[in-house]
Structure 1
């Protein structure tokens, strides 16, 4: 029986990916492995080990690799893979707290890493297990493939192409997790860092009925770019969603509000300008359905605890519940606020970003 055109397309893509992988491996052997082997003979063991580690990091697309998370104390880590494309299946890790079972289902947070990270490094940066164990949440960490993006970025800037495919793959994983684990399917939220933040908001706008709330930490405003050049401008705060994109999103929402939104951003972020957070908030305001009860602005609050970085909190409420919250962290660069020390894209001096997020998600019913 002849294969469908779709099957032929995936076959062609996978063959091309295999050829490219072989070509890359030959280039690595010629330009990296062989010279490195000679260097090992010439140099001291310590220096050679450092070069090897740096090369491994470059090839993996992970800036500061971490050991796979282990189950310590209550709760357990699981890992697996899902999907078949584009080009490669994706891996995931999942933390399930003790006490979650078929009769006592837990809320779930989908946590999307940024560029230069994988699930192990992101779990370490965010302290996902410790925070989720304390809060009683399931945490699902999907992992971007280096074949889909060499820097392991989620392709948020291709909303009509690969980005849409990835959003569908992520949604399929969320649905699978809800079917196979003790997850309260109506209490699923998604949060991401940088490219993961932009993809988290993309998911919320594509599948608004499936998420109780969404959040972006240091992410670009979604639907602001359709290629890498435009993405760079958007990250600098020089692009935003145009009128056609807003109109298409409004049609997709079909008269419903987008999910409640949390935005965390440092005002010293030189990679993704903080104006992306205000632009994302403005997009959510534009997407409010006609005739809906207007959101109420709450006076801004400035909060500082101990020696941690100060934050300015801006809230808009729907009735008595928070609906949109923007948290601007003073002096924070392009890094996870309150993250573990010794990792890239992590700032231990900030307030704990994951705890801030879970408080908001709980307040909105996530």
Structure 2
């Protein structure tokens, strides 16, 4: 790597660390680090270096305590049931331009000035997730099997975990779940609770595993052009893996779906856009529109300010996003919906409030009344899987159950032959 490339990589890592320091309320240190980095000053002190974590664009791993059990819980569950009628998520290659782009300077300045009050306000109720290896969630009474498989295709190799229900529905359905940065397939299965629901519904669930070699933080490289398109990079690997599971378990081609969280949500949007002939619907949780970024600089800008995706996504889409997400701006949820054609549909809003986070569900229907898109906007929620299990990372049990809502949405959107 050239000296210029190394310098750009180090400056980008400094910016991510400054954002982390801001979230911890350490504004003086964050500002000092940015000034040193952009001005080419001295390196951080040894004490500061000891506090630095590996850079990643999933900056605020959030987990909230156990949600209270109240009479409102059944109402929220019923709302969900009725839905059926940074090489990191960040650092693939150095930015080509020699100076730090002016827009990137503005974004970092905005992080320091703007995220502090938001993140400090959330700090009292959030905890950094522990990341120990855990057994993956299983069906009730140990039903179902959670097995390890590997797929190799022209674009590369990835391992994956596959949940096989004890009583598969007929015809069989498959959901492909893409984890976020610093997560594993087992952790993601635990946090989303998807295996338990899949056992009840008789659905197969595949969890592709991003490797540390492809990305040191195990982020899907959603911002890399080579990983966004058809028959290339990670999009091709995930599609090939999907086809392998379909062949092994006789999955109905009309019942194949994909979903993801954060970097995984952005990757799911990429894959669904590239393969509308393979996936019947997509779920994007705290993610971004397909092909909304082309490099590290545009990825950071998109995360903080939102960015439109390239082209259209021609598959039914369900979007979850926390309104207080300080990692991926909620504006990105609007961009995902716009890319999927929300502007040509008629929205219908429903609001729910109770013991957990209040939320608004918006369904977008065509002239015949067919719902093509759903948006779940959760007030008071940050960068975390809504309704998730606190035993997993990036979860918030206070929100509506995103896993249940997605499965119900998927069940109502089969791909036409």
TM-score normalised by structure 2 residue count = 0.64
Give 2:360's aligned residue: 312
Q: In structure 2, which of residues 147, 168, 173 is the aligned counterpart of residue 78 of structure 1?
A: 147
What value does the CA root-mean-square deviation take over the aligned residues? Answer: 2.5
Matched residue, 1:321: 370
1:337 is aligned to 386
2:213 matched residue in structure 1? 147
Task: Give 1:162 deviation, angstroms.
Answer: 7.4
* Structure 1 SS opposite 2:226: coil
1:195 aligns with 2:263: yes
Structure 1 Cα separation of the partners of residues 337 and 279 of structure 2:
17
- After TM superposition, give the deviation of residue 208 of structure 1 in Å: 0.5
Unaligned runs of 5+ in 2: 1-52, 55-87, 89-128
Deviation per residue, 1:270-314 (Å, 9 max, x gap): 00000000011112228x9xxxxx53x13211023x522111111
* Alignment pair present for 1:274 and 2:340: no
For structure 1, which runs of at least 5 residues remain unmatched after alignment?
1-53, 56-60, 250-256, 289-293
Match of 2:318 among 262, 267, 275: 262
Deviation string 1:99-156 (CA, Å, 9 cap, x unpaired) is 228xx33211111101110101101101121111112211111110110001111011
Matches of 2:218 and 2:190, distance apart in 1: 17
Match of 1:64 among 131, 135, 152: 131
Higher mean alpha-carbon deviation, 148-157 vs 219-228, is at 219-228
Q: Bigger CA drift: 156-165 or 311-320? A: 156-165
- 2:191 is aligned, of 125, 128, 143, to 125
Measure, in 2, the Cα distance between the counterparts of 1:135 and 1:262. 19
Distance in 2, Cα, partners of 1:167 & 1:129 = 24
1:160 counterpart SS class:
helix
C-alpha offsets along residues 186-205 of structure 1, whole Å, 9 cap, x if unaligned? 21010100011011111111
Q: Secondary structure at the match of 1:147?
A: coil
Matched, 1:219 2:268: no
Q: Give me the whole-angstrom Cα distance separating, in 2, the residues matched to 1:174 and 1:191.
A: 13
Displacement after TM superposition at 1:331 (Å):
0.6
Paired with 1:213 and 1:168, the residues of 2 have a C-alpha distance of 17
Q: How far off is 1:348 after superposition?
A: 1.3
Corresponding position of 1:115: 181
Secondary structure, in 3 states, of the residue corresponding to 2:215? coil
Partner of 2:251: 183
Q: How many residues align?
A: 286
SS of alignment partner, residue 305 of structure 2:
coil
Cα separation, 1, equivalents of 2:137 and 2:382: 29
